[in-house]
Structure 1
Amino acid sequence: MFNAVSGLGAGGLVNPQDIDKANVALYSTFAVVAFFAGSIANRLGLRYTLTFGGFGYFLYVASILSYNHNKNAGFLIFAGALLGVCAACLWTAQGTIMMSYPDEYSKGKFISWFWAIFNLGGVIGSLRTLTFCSKVPLANNLHNKSNSVQDSTYILFMVLMFVGFLLGFALVNARDIKRSDGTRVILMKNPSWKSELIGLVTVLKSDWYIIALFPMFFASNWFTTYQFNAVNLAKFNIRTRALNNVLYWISQMIGAFVFGYGLDAPRVRRSIRARYALVSLFLITMAIWGDGWFNQKQYDRADVTETNRMDWTDPNYAEPMVLYMLYGFYDAAFQTCAYWFMGALTNNSRKLANFAGFYKGIQSAGAAIAWRIDSLGVSYRAMFISNWALLASSLIIAAPVVWKKIKDITDIMKDLKFSDENLEEVSTAAAMELRGR
């Protein structure tokens, strides 16, 4: 649902400045809290961390609805800052679940299914702004060629987000998870605040090579501001932006399945799959963003007015529509690879919680800077160049980790060193095999 609101460009508001400030607040707090959110998730447990994280999304959309009536920028920015705290917890818990619950032969599939369900929310939310459908009002803006969103759109988002927040309480505890092969999730039996903060520092020392993935983390949401505000908001009216969003999120679902299932291909060794994925990602970076440059050369920020936004009836609509879909495909491919690379380095839930926190914290720092750049009125062409350069260079910097550190099989004994569990508690079969050697 948050995807659908953000994808409208400026949260569906005509004036993007205040929403940019809210997003700067959001991603600033997100960046700070997320870096330590792995420790929070390990101490409180994934269920409570995830549930707490869901509340901020509901309040944030409520603040946008309020802003539409009273222009209270203070409440909007406060809600953005609070959402940053909540989102840090939610996304760290989510990332930990997605990377540590499946066995190491199924992580790509789990990531792709999560990404598909995650973006299905964006599809449904975008349809909500597009048309009416039988008993459920899926959209108000089919015949709306203006640049504003109706109140009922935000209200339905709020209802759905609140239901999602409550459903977090139904999550099964990690300790009760048992995989199909009989193994269990590796975690800390008796975590404390002290042990988890020490654990965070220990990860940075023992797995120092994760720093080479930090540029990839930083770049992974940098492009969102450009795509939503410099492309979708700048070029299209509200109903066309909503249609673009439907296509964008569907393309993300396709991208996640293509890369997720490809990363789990059983006939190719995992170390080789990792290298293929990185090279493929670099090639589509150059292809898609190269095509994007030809589109961006046609206009800049100074050329955008309220009256010259494109509608889907425009004869020239097809080309930018396809490009926007490719941006969605690329986003999913990039994020799926980033999560899979982290998940291929370890199966330890405690360590993966810290990895997920690093990922979301650094990602959000990049996003905060990107939203700030947009709010300062930097040219769209400069924003585009920064995206292309960051994405391409981050993949080059990540290459040594992908080549040297991702192995065909993860050593379970190495993973157990970062927990207070023993082999019998997480894998009876592995323990029996070890005794038989």
Structure 2
Amino acid sequence: MGFEGAEESGGTEVPQSRFRYNSPFVQVSLIGFVCFCCPGMFNALSGMGGGGQVDPTASNNASTALYTTFAVFGILGGGIYNILGPRLTLLSACSTYVLYAGSFLYYNHHKHQAFAIVAGAILGVGAGLLWAGQGAIMTSYPPANRKGTYISIFWSIFNMGGVIGGLIPFVLNYNRSEAASVNDATYIGFMVFMTVGTLLSLAILPPRKVVRDDGSKCTNIQYSSVSTEVVEIAKLFGNWKMLLIIPAAWSSNFFYTYQFNNVNQVMFNLRTRGLNNVFYWGAQMLGSIGIGYIMDFSFKSRRTRGFAGITVISIVSTAIWVGGLVNQLTYSRGDLPEKLDFKDSGSDFAGPFVLYFSFGLLDSMFQSMVYWVIGALANDSETLSRYVGFYKGIQSAGAAVAWQVDTHKVSFLTQLVTNWSLTTVSYPLLVVLVLLAVKDDSKADLEEISKEKEAAPSFAGPASEK
């Protein structure tokens, strides 16, 4: 007896619908909705600048603690995910988001940083586990020739959380003065969504239960061990493929501090920041869909598609950072601009708004491209969970440094030039990685699928959750 909806074809049970509960499409969509509720709402909270507070110091320090622990547990997260499986890993990880939002609700009343900083450190542990698991699911579950499409599906669902999350402070703080922090209802709204996401994580299946439409399984390994994971994670630091990814990983969250604190918070008033974030995260959806198409459909050769995607993003990136430089030359830390309002500022609002929208577009294109490159390096969940964990760990180390750079009042222009330089350095290294490590599709993918089918046990009986 096979899965419901399967039929006998030449002695092999082949799943028939992409909407099966155990299909890659449904599972990637589910992890998208988990991230919609948890990191999606976190992104909306961070995107307001200063965590919604007038003084960003508490948020900067909490973010530093967050990304410091995230750097460690991002790297360890892939191994922990392989040992515990998705449900226990994701359930514990998502609960830390609720605590973090709650710490700012507390800060609204007591103005004590300690709780926010501790909650940030705990969230770093949870985020490391969540993103390592999410990355493994997003890059290993899909068919090898459709990874860009599935990455864009995830990124669109996930960033809809930022869109909805941006509407929460926009609506709830529409008539509040610029001198005020966001109200309690804003933080409570974030906490409700995060709690839903925590419960939804229980719907994620372990990799060995997920079956692609061609009948292949995502992995046949049912258990891992601490010793195995320690050895495999240690090897990553000498893996030349991972070393080439380091500049892209370091830069991919480094620019958030500049964009959120030094553009959105500095240039716009409270209600307009919420509106801006609706469009910032909406732009992420558009960017991920566009780059997903290029990475999967632009050329027959997978390697050529990789080159095309990197080239397009490098051109778009340069244009956006040039626009950022033009905007930045109009103000500085010592000469702050008058706050812009979407209703009252007229044409002065348009340029900075389009720039902030473009930053969101670039973020999703850049990160989706890097995930595609990582996903092209392997097909099995165990390996990719470690690769993604390494990527997220280095990414978070960069972010931890970026938040402290801003806390120490480094000039806005220096931060912009640093961000521009870091992203630019990563492009030629990614080209080298694609050239040397990414195989052209068909033959390599068919061999991989054939091995998975030969090694796969019967689809008849569901294995137990590890």
Q: When the two structures are superposed, what TM-score results if normalisation uses the length of structure 2?
A: 0.85
Aligned to 1:387: 419
Query: Are the equivalent residues in 1 in contact too, given 2:75–2:233 (CA < 8 A)?
Result: no
Aligned to 1:83: 123
> What is the aligned counterpart of 2:200 among 167, 184, 188?
167
In the other structure, the counterpart of 2:341 is 311
Could you say what secondary structure the match of 2:59 adopts?
A: helix
Letter in 1 for 2:102: A
Q: Decide which of 424, 428, 431 is 2:454's aligned counterpart.
A: 424
Q: Secondary structure at the match of 1:25?
A: helix
Q: What is aligned with 2:96?
A: 56
Instruction: Write the mapping of 1:169-318 to structure 2, written as runs, cut at 5 A.
Output: 169-205=202-238, 207-265=239-297, 267-304=299-336, 308-312=338-342, 313-315=344-346, 316-318=348-350
Asked if 1:158 corresponds to 2:191, the answer is yes
Q: CA, structure 1 residues 68+187, in 2 after alignment: closer, same or farther (shift >3 Å)?
A: farther
1:412 Cα offset (Å): 6.3
1:100 and 1:185 in contact (8 A); partners too: yes
Match of 2:178 in 1: 146
Give the RMSD, CA atoms, in angstroms: 1.9
| Alignment partners' CA distance in 1, 2:298 and 2:445 | 20
Q: What is the alpha-carbon distance in structure 2 between the residues aligned to residue 333 and residue 191 of structure 1?
A: 33
User: Which deviations, in whole Å up to 9, do the C-alpha atoms of 1:166-202 show, x marking residues without a partner?
Assistant: 1111212211100001100125223111112222234
Write out per-residue CA displacement over residues 381-417 of structure 1, whole angstroms, 9 at most, x where no aligned residue. 111010001110111222211222111137469979x
Aligned residues with identical type, % of pairs:
42
Q: Distance in 2 between matches of 1:223 and 1:57?
A: 22
Is 1:270–1:408's contact at 8 Å kept on the other side of the alignment? yes
Amino acid at match of 1:424: E
Q: CA deviation at 1:163?
A: 1.2
| Alpha-carbon distance in 2 for matches of 1:52, 1:215 | 30
- Structure 1 residues without counterparts, runs of 5 or longer: 131-138, 429-437
Among 403, 406, 409, the residue aligned to 1:371: 403
Aligned residue number for residue 60 of structure 2: 20
Q: CA deviation at 1:290?
A: 0.7
For the structure 1 residues 203 and 73, does the alpha-carbon distance in structure 2 shift closer, same or farther, using more than 3 Å as the test? closer
Partners of 1:204 and 1:15 lie apart in 2 by 38
Counterpart CA distance in 2 for 1:414 and 1:270 is: 16
- Helix, strand or coil at the partner of 2:172: coil
Deviation at 1:427, TM superposition (A): 9.1
State how many pairs are aligned.
413
Contact 2:178 2:269 in 1 (8 A): yes
Per-residue Cα deviation, 1:303-355 (whole angstroms, up to 9, x for no partner): 227xx211112020011111111100000000000000000111021110111
Question: Superposition pairs for residues 56-75 of structure 1, below 5 Å?
Answer: 56-75=96-115
Q: Is the 8 A contact 1:56 1:83 kept in 2?
A: yes
The answer to whether the Cα contact below 8 Å between 2:216 and 2:452 also exists between their aligned partners in 1 is: no
Does structure 2 conserve the Cα–Cα contact (< 8 Å) formed by 1:60 and 1:83? Answer: yes
Aligned residue for 2:84?
44
Specify the code of the residue in structure 2 equivalent to 1:226: Y
Return the alpha-carbon distance in structure 1 between the equivalents of residues 241 and 376 of structure 2: 14
Equivalent AA in structure 2 for residue 247 of structure 1: F
Structure 2 unmatched runs, 5+: 1-40, 459-466
Shift of 1:267: 4.6
State yes or no: 1:347 paired with 2:379: yes
Secondary structure at the counterpart of residue 303 of structure 1:
coil
Of 104, 121, 137, the residue aligned with 2:161 is 121
Cα distance between partner residues in 2 of 1:235 and 1:212: 36
Code of the aligned partner of 1:425: A
Residue of 381, 392, 414 corresponding to 1:360: 392
SS in 1 for 2:358: helix
Q: Is the 8 A contact 2:50 2:261 kept in 1?
A: yes
Residue 133 of structure 1 corresponds to none
Distance 1:354 1:290 in 2: 35
CA deviations over 1:71-130 (Å, ceiling 9, x no partner): 121101000000000000001000000000001111111111111111101110111122
Deviation of 1:34 (Å) = 1.1
Deviations 1:206-249 (A, max 9, x none): x4222111110110001000000000001111111011101101
Deviation at 1:35, TM superposition (A): 1.0
Change (3 A) 1:353 1:415: farther
- The one-letter amino acid of 2:345's match is D
CA offsets 1:252-298 (integer angstroms, 9 cap, x no match):
10001000122110752111000011111111111110111000000
CA contact 2:215–2:453 (8 Å) conserved in 1: no
CA contact (8 A) 1:348 1:415 kept: no
